[in-house]
Chains A and B, each alone.
Chain A
Amino acid sequence: MSSNIVLKRGLDIPVKGAADRRVMREVEPGTVAVNPTVYKGLVPRLLVREGDPVAAGSPVLADKDRPEILFTSPVSGSVKEIVRGEKRRLLAVVIESDGKGTAVDFGACDPSSLSREEAAALLLKSGLWGGIISRPYGVMADPSVSPKSIFISAFSTAPLAPDTNFSLGHEVEAVQAGVRLLSRLTDGGVHLCLSAETYSASPFHKIEGAIVHTVSGPHPAGNVGVQISHISPIRRGETVWTVPIQAVAAMGRLVLTGKLSLMRRIAVTGPAAEDHAYVEALPGTPVAEIVKPGENVRVIDGDLLSGRTLAHDGWTGFFTDQITLIREGNETELFGWAKPFRPKLYSSSPCYFSWLTPWKKYDMDTNLHGGQRAFVETKCFSDVTPMDIFPIYLIKACLAGEIEKMEKFGIYEVLPEDLALCDYVDPSKNDIQAIIASGIDLMIKEMA
């Protein structure tokens, strides 16, 4: 039942700084953090104290309400520090590596022979369960639920996104094993979405045990939410799980070797990065060990549209597969909007002249390029949202906090990342993703 989906609407932002297809170095872990803030819906409970010894795969945190969901250390060593923020909110458990590589043995197995319960138990105790994201709302998956289906997007169209064919091309076996393991968790099957442009060159098109779809079009064609809405839209009361492809590979390595191994290729990208290539590093590696950002540079975990800002002394997280560096645009520009030409800036709108140079890549910064206003131009939102929804009505329903309207306008089908381009194109400079996120939070609260 595979299908080819052709999307027309969307936008590829022409920004400089894509990663070359090479590994520049391997980051030897000195300290690594287990970071609970990257999992939506997790209330963490600490299982270790400072000084406790841990092995790779031994539990460090658990979910407070569902204690079977564990979060484990990626390295062996000892707990160095427990970092808390405001109101004693747990930010990170920092583990100092001893370099010995001792690891908990979960037992290698053939994923096809596992029952649903066995497969779930393996993921729960190894700490990889947190890699499963449940839709609607994009929260951590509930182990007691059997989802309608599981979706994996094997490519990303986000600005400067890592090329999965390179970052995971050498791990097709692990991805295959991961897909087999995940298929034990659902009766609806695992859907794997590949880019139609690189389909024939992709090492993933031979993956078995999954329904393979090809998708073509500009960003957000690679977003799993957009793919779901075209393949099997989410109705009220249904649950669909999605798993980032890096997590699928980690699950595959777990069943192939019996050990937790999270080492992965992370793309270092962005106009302010000195060298654009991949590093091999563990999730939780300190930012400073991967990149050396300058004074006025923002470090982003993820892409330019929906990544989260990292402190220069912060840590990457479980989902990190890309680090983007970009200059802070905190300078004023004389007569900016009134100049006929602004060759250094990109605009998707014909009100500027970027359309004259379609081949050009731009050195972007974080300037807002204007002041916040009420919504005026709204057609631009639907132009970049290739889904069967009316973005402006969904946004307004979220602003008004009207549950019933949010439902009708498709809140179940979207996460903020799916409307990230609306943020980008809006001439009124509203923070659409934040509005959608607040709508989703309201839904979680009201529908619980």
Chain B
Amino acid sequence: MAAENSTPRPGLFEKGGKLGWLHSTADAFETFLRVPGTVTRRGAHVRDAIDLKRVMIIVVIALVPAALFGMWNTGYQTSTLYGLGWGFWMCFWKGFLRVLPLYIVSYAVGLAIEFASSQIRDEEVNEGYLVTGMLIPLIVPVDVPLWMLALAVAFAVIFGKEVFGGTGMNIWNPALLARAFLFFSYPSKMSGSEVWIHAPKGVDAVSGATPLALAGESGVSALSGDLSFWHLFLGDIPGSVGETSAIAILLGAIILIWTGVASWKIMVSSIGGALLVGWLGCLGGVTDVPAWYQLVLGGFLFGTVFMATDPVTSAQTECGKWIYGFLVGALAVTVRLFNPGYAEGMMLAILLMNTFAPLIDHCVVSASISRREKRIRTA
């Protein structure tokens, strides 16, 4: 009896406690509120104040301008197309009400799976989904049915991330996988010209094609008036929730580059790749859309800034980042120019380059090793 009494009883959420099977979940909430009092045991005795939670929250903050603009734009597009005459705040409020359910579904489904799988793996809950959950509603059409979104999120988190072992182990960007899942499973809800603008109740949906689709059909002549370069840059155009405003995305890019969370090399080289292929396309007569329009059309900029730069799925070596980024930009525009059926190439370009990122790194590292061996031999 004495020996039994001397071992302290495990707490409610500790292993062996009554709700011990929930300890990852309890731990997640605990560490969310308070930085734990864990001290260093091995290695360096002091550690930097930075942790993954801070890194992730920086990305979330960088996404806020695009998300807020997306909410306003959702209301504004409905108001304009159906002639409702809403003011600024009304547009924002109506858009907010449309986007909020997307966020609730994205976070509820994603976090539930994330918590459950952390529990199964007996690990701490990773904060990676904070960013994925923030991204997904911004890259889907606003009228996507919520059950489809839930299914896509579940697919992306389970098959895109958890089967590989969680955040840090995944091959593809989970948010893009969710979008790819939606696109290939429910193409009618993800493309065409009726899905981009929310129709108010009792009104038949009116066509509101994205400028990208219009440019694909009829070239640069479609991009005038309300779809001029300035409007494309500002972002008051139809499109996925968060991808339309170059200004809001660039604000996020400044935050990401300044904090060093995302690689400026990938962003710069991706833009370079897009401009080059866009320019070649013009030169070769494939399109009459000037190259710089490619940067503000569709999801290019959003993908370049927030998706291609994901530190887990992009190239890891500095030289590899230049190659990876360049190919993302070049491929995205190539798909746009040569695939009239599906105008948006960014999603597939990034997913494809995610797949090839380890190969790029392998080549860069192998080249470096042979150069290094030569150097050592002559030293």
Contacts A334-B33, A347-B50, A366-B46 given; indicate if A373 touches B167 (C-beta within 8 A): yes
Interface residues on B, range: 35 or more
Let me know if A333 and B34 touch, CB within 8 A: yes
Q: In the complex the two chains form, what is the Cα distance from A371 to B317 in whole Å?
A: 25
Q: In the complex the two chains form, what is the Cα distance from A347 to B375 in whole Å?
A: 35
Min CB distance B275 to A, Å, is 25
Q: In the complex the two chains form, what is the Cα distance from A335 to B57 in whole Å?
A: 13
Contacting B at CB under 8 A, from A326-343, are 326, 328-338, 342
Q: In the complex the two chains form, what is the Cα distance from A298 to B46 in whole Å?
A: 11
Q: Which partner residue on chain A sits nearest B310 by CB separation?
A: A376
**Which of A331, A347, A379 contacts B48, CB < 8 Å?**
A347
**5 closest Cβ pairs, A-B complex:** A370-B51, A374-B168, A336-B35, A423-B44, A345-B49
Let me know if B365 and A390 touch, CB within 8 A: yes
Contacts A350-B258, A370-B52 given; indicate if A337 touches B35 (C-beta within 8 A): yes
Chain A contacts of B45 at CB under 8 A? 298, 300, 304-305, 307, 309, 324, 326, 366
Contacting B at CB under 8 A, from A376-400, are 376-379, 382, 388, 390, 392-393
Main secondary structure on chain B at its contact with chain A? Answer: loop
Q: A328-B39, A354-B49, A429-B51 are in contact. List 7 more A-B contacts (CB 8 A).
A: A324-B45, A334-B34, A349-B260, A351-B259, A368-B36, A376-B55, A390-B317
Main secondary structure on chain A at its contact with chain B? Answer: loop
Contacting B at CB under 8 A, from A262-320, are 298, 300, 304-307, 309
Judge if A424 is at the interface, Cβ distance under 8 Å: yes
Contacts A336-B34, A351-B55 given; indicate if A378 touches B316 (C-beta within 8 A): yes
Q: In the complex the two chains form, what is the Cα distance from A331 to B39 in whole Å?
A: 9
**Which of A232, A373, A388, A429 contacts B47, CB < 8 Å?**
A429
**Which of A334, A349, A409, A433 contacts B44, CB < 8 Å?**
A433
Let me know if B57 and A427 touch, CB within 8 A: no
Interface residues on A, range: 35 or more
A-B contact pairs, 17 of them (CB 8 A): A159-B46, A235-B377, A300-B45, A329-B37, A329-B39, A347-B48, A349-B260, A350-B258, A367-B40, A368-B38, A369-B35, A371-B36, A373-B167, A374-B169, A388-B375, A424-B44, A427-B48
Let me know if A376 and B167 touch, CB within 8 A: yes
Chain A contacts of B263 at CB under 8 A? 379
Chain A contacts of B167 at CB under 8 A? 373-374, 376
Chain A contacts of B288 at CB under 8 A? none
Judge if A251 is at the interface, Cβ distance under 8 Å: no
Q: In the complex the two chains form, what is the Cα distance from A304 to B379 in whole Å?
A: 33
Chain B contacts of A307 at CB under 8 A? 45
